Amino acid sequence: MEEKSRGTTLTVFALLLALMAISNFGKPFSHHPGVGFVFFGTRLSGLPNLIVAPIFGIMLAVYAYGIMAMRKFALPIGIFYAAYVIINMPLFILKYHGSPVMQEHSWAYLIPYPFVAIGVSSGAAVLLYRRKSDLA
């Protein structure tokens, strides 16, 4: 079977998702109270953060590998993760709007972040969907 190239964009998305996986693995060990995995709009801390952040880290690591290897299992993970990001972003903003949590970040971070997060997660899923016949 002929192996298809994943292309530059999918490669960049896979690398960004791998970095996000590494970030998720580190969240339970941060000494900064403002660092914690955000799960359906709620910033986690303590035991929930210790459990959920590595689970998502593993999922993103598997997803990044799936993209790099152009494997079929990457597509459903990508669709799930893109939907999760799209749901998670507004829930976080609604929950913490006007609170000290939102004041921890500058507008220079808060404005572009949703575009990058949704763009990478959804963009990877869309590209995988378009290339699903190339997935092994």
Report pTM. 0.89
Name the residue with tokens 């990478």: 120
Q: Which pLDDT score is estimated for 57?
A: 97
115-118, long-range: CB < 8 A, 24+ apart: 117/85, 117/89, 118/82, 118/85, 118/86, 118/89
DSSP state of 3: P
Q: List average pLDDT for each run of 10 residues in the chain, which is 136 residues long.
A: 78 97 92 84 93 97 97 98 96 88 76 91 97 94
Q: Which pLDDT score is estimated for 97?
A: 85
Which tokens is 13 given?
A: 């998305």
Kind and range of the H or E run holding 42:
strand 42-43
Instruction: Based on DSSP, count helices (H) and strands (E) in the chain, helices before strands.
Output: 6, 2
Q: How far apart are CA 98 and CA 31, in angstroms?
A: 24
Which residues have CB under 8 Å from 133's CB, separation 6+? none
Q: Which pLDDT score is estimated for 13?
A: 97
